[in-house]
């Protein structure tokens, strides 16, 4: 996304902010500190399942697409 970590964070935060205007984005993270770029107004859904389980469940809901 970018040449350095700070630039990448800013670019990703901008993409998350754009997602609030109608483009849907799902962002799954394991560490709470990675939630900092998620803008206010976003819907956060805490999950206790592992990433592999979350992926399987999501794929089933969207029929593998």
pLDDT at 23: 63
**Does 8 have pLDDT greater than 80?**
yes
Q: How confident is the model at residue 3 (pLDDT cuts 50, 70, 90)?
A: confident
How do the domains of the chain map onto residue ranges? 5-61
Q: For 9-49, how does the pLDDT look when each residue is reduced to its tens digit (9 = 90+)?
A: 888 888 777 777 766 767 777 677 777 777 777 777 777 78
Residues whose CB is less than 8 angstroms from the CB of residue 58 and which lie 6 or more positions away in sequence, other chains included: 26
Contact 37, 13 (CB under 8 A): yes
Q: What's the DSSP call for residue 28?
A: -
């Amino acid at each position: 996304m970018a040449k350095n970590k700070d630039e990448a964070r800013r670019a990703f935060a901008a993409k998350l902010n754009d997602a609030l205007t109608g483009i849907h984005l799902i962002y799954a993270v394991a560490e709470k500190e990675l939630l900092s770029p998620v803008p206010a107004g976003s819907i956060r859904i805490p999950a206790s399942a592992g990433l592999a389980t979350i992926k399987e469940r999501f794929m089933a809901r969207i029929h593998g697409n």
